[in-house]
Chains A and B, each alone.
Chain A
């Protein structure tokens, strides 16, 4: 979902990628909710979003102005890395370690976003624009880190299959 929520931070060359991620999230999110028995009467939205063009979809999501980042936790990854009987290969363990590392970097960006957002309410005068700019930079960093984390997770999944 991070890719969709921070769509406005991605360059126009990445429009097809962002659009695909939004579609994937909508479909996957709906399926997950349905399989868990939550909101089982959700309408089939994926077909509607399939018909909307990439540009239009990304433009729609670019209107979202997210100011706070979400920290992602991976309790199973953490316990597998801490345990000695996971039965995973060195390559798989390395991939999971990378997932955890990038999730950690993402949470650092999230922390900085929170900090700079808080400062926008307290720091005034000449420094205010600087704080706003820093917050914006952190939002962009968070968006880019989300993409990296997504790729790292997909690579780990490939290795686990």
Chain B
């Protein structure tokens, strides 16, 4: 069971990193799409 002892923190760190990264990307994507929507509306209003 020694391998489990050593691997658990590695797996935990990996899962934490991947979920943190995913959450960051999701937030960025939401911000980006919102901004793009605003730009599109402003463009259409200007034209």
Task: State the A residues within 8 Å of B (CB).
Answer: 74-77, 80, 85-88, 96, 99, 153, 156-157, 160-161
Q: Is the interface of A mostly helix, strand, loop or mixed?
A: helix
Main secondary structure of the interface of B (DSSP, over half): helix
Binary interface profile of B, 9-36, with partner A (CB < 8 Å = 1, else 0)? 0000000000000000000000011011
Q: How far, in whole Å, are A55 and B26 apart by their CA atoms in the complex?
A: 58
Place the interface of chain B in its size category: 10 to 19
Q: Please determine whether B44 and A157 come into contact, CB atoms closer than 8 angstroms.
A: yes
* Cβ-closest chain A residue relative to B43: A76
Which of B32, B33, B35, B44 lies in contact with A160, CB distance below 8 A? B44
A51 shortest CB reach to chain B, Å: 30
A-B contact pairs, 30 of them (CB 8 A): A74-B46, A74-B47, A75-B46, A76-B39, A76-B43, A76-B46, A77-B47, A80-B39, A80-B43, A85-B32, A85-B35, A85-B36, A86-B36, A86-B39, A87-B32, A87-B33, A87-B36, A87-B39, A88-B40, A96-B43, A99-B47, A153-B47, A156-B47, A157-B44, A157-B47, A160-B40, A160-B43, A160-B44, A160-B47, A161-B44
